[in-house]
Amino acid sequence: MGILKLENVSYRYKDAPKDSYVFKDINYEFEQGKIYAIKGKSGSGKTTLLSLITGLEKCTEGNVLYDGKKLRKINLDNYRNTDIGIVFQSYNLLPRLTAIENIILSMDVSKVKVKNKKQKALELMKSVGLSEEQAKRKILKLSGGEQQRIAIARSLSYNPKIIIADEPTGNLDKETENDILKIFKSLAKDENKCIIIVTHSQNVCNEVDEVYELASKKVN
């Protein structure tokens, strides 16, 4: 049984006409140990679907089920700080904090039991290719690629079962993109995580286990 299940999921904007859906009746299942890519043209609703999966948005119809439980019925704060890790396209890191502080903050919020949070954060940063010196820098003093790595490290910091990434390599060069894909593959295979990547990149689609083409499902 999949860790995450989309059950007749439909979405339309609140101010849109009643029959104007961004997407309708999506049924899909995501399993642990696999990497998924959600592909689609601009405006196809990729980021919206991701928002529904992360609980930041509610389905107009249908349900998203995590571990067999409807997201509507569970505590979404706990879901977001414990069960899923989100890597945003625009990183969404706190600029007033340093790189390492952003990661430790996520551990604090999730209440994950870690003896030495600083040590764990440094290890995570090292695993995504960042140095201790970079860890002490404020977010705005890091490049886009470095911020993306920190966002990934942050999403891993509390060991969630699912990692959802929105265009994680969209702002990165080819080499960095490959590095990050390696990280995701390793997480899926070695740590049994479910990785869901929203992407435009064919290179990413070629590396994942399953590709979900959203455009073909769109109902207007």
Partner 1 sequence: MYILKNSLVSIIRNKGRNILIGIIILVIACSTTVTLAIRNTASNLVENYRESHDIIASISFDRKQLTNNFKGGEDNLKDNIEAFNNIESLNLDTVKNYGESDYLKGYYYMYSTSLNSDTLSKASDTYEYEVEDKQTTTSTSSTTTGGNSGMPNGRPGGGGEERRTTINNNTTTIITRTKEKFESDKNLTGDFELDGYSSYDAMTDFVNGTYQVTEGEMISDFEALECVVSSELAILNEIEVGGTITLKNSNTEVTYEFLVKGIYKDNSDSNDVVKMFSSSANKIITGSGVIEKIVAEDSTAITNITPSFIVKDEESIEKFTEELKEKGLNEYFTVNTNLDELQNATKSIENVKTFASTFLIITLIISSIVLFVINMINIRERKYEIGVFRTIGVSKFKLTMQFVLELLIVAIIMLMIGAVCGSFISKPVGNSLLQNEIESNAEEEEQISNNFGKGQMPMQYNQTAKIEPINNIDALVDITVIAQLVGIGILLTFISSLASMISIQRFSPLTILKERS
Site of interaction with partner 1 (CB under 8 A): 51, 54, 56-57, 76-82, 86, 88-90, 92-94, 96-97, 101, 105-106, 108-110, 154
Nearest to partner 1 of 57, 210 (CB atom): 57
**From CA 182, how far away is CA 177, in angstroms rounded?**
9
- Give the separation between CA 61 and CA 174, rounded to whole angstroms: 38
**Closest separation in Å from C-beta 191 to partner 1:** 20
Query: Tokens 């979900």 label which residue?
Result: 212
Amino acid identity for residue 120 in this structure: K
What is the 3-state composition of the chain as percent helix, strand, coil, each rounded to the nearest 5? 40, 25, 35
Least Å from the CB of residue 176 to partner 1: 20
CB of 51 to partner 1, least distance (A): 5
Residue 79 DSSP symbol: I
The strand pair at 210-213 and 4-11 is best described as unpaired
Question: Please, which residue, 84 or 188, has the CB nearer to partner 1?
Answer: 84
- State the minimum distance, in angstroms, from the CB of residue 64 to partner 1: 15
52 versus 181: smaller Cβ distance to partner 1: 52
* CA–CA separation, 78 and 125 (whole Å): 24
Cα distances (Å, whole numbers) of residue 39 to 36, 47, 107, 170: 10, 10, 31, 13
Instruction: Output 60 or 89, the one with its CB closest to partner 1.
Output: 89
Q: Are 37 and 212 in contact (CB under 8 A)?
A: yes
- The CB-of-56 to partner 1 minimum distance in angstroms stands at 5
Task: Select 154 or 193, whichever has its Cβ closest to partner 1.
Answer: 154
Pick 34 or 154: Cβ nearer partner 1: 154
DSSP state of 30: E
Q: Least distance from C-beta 94 to partner 1, angstroms?
A: 6
Which secondary structure element, helix H or strand E, spans residue 10, and what is its range? strand 4-11
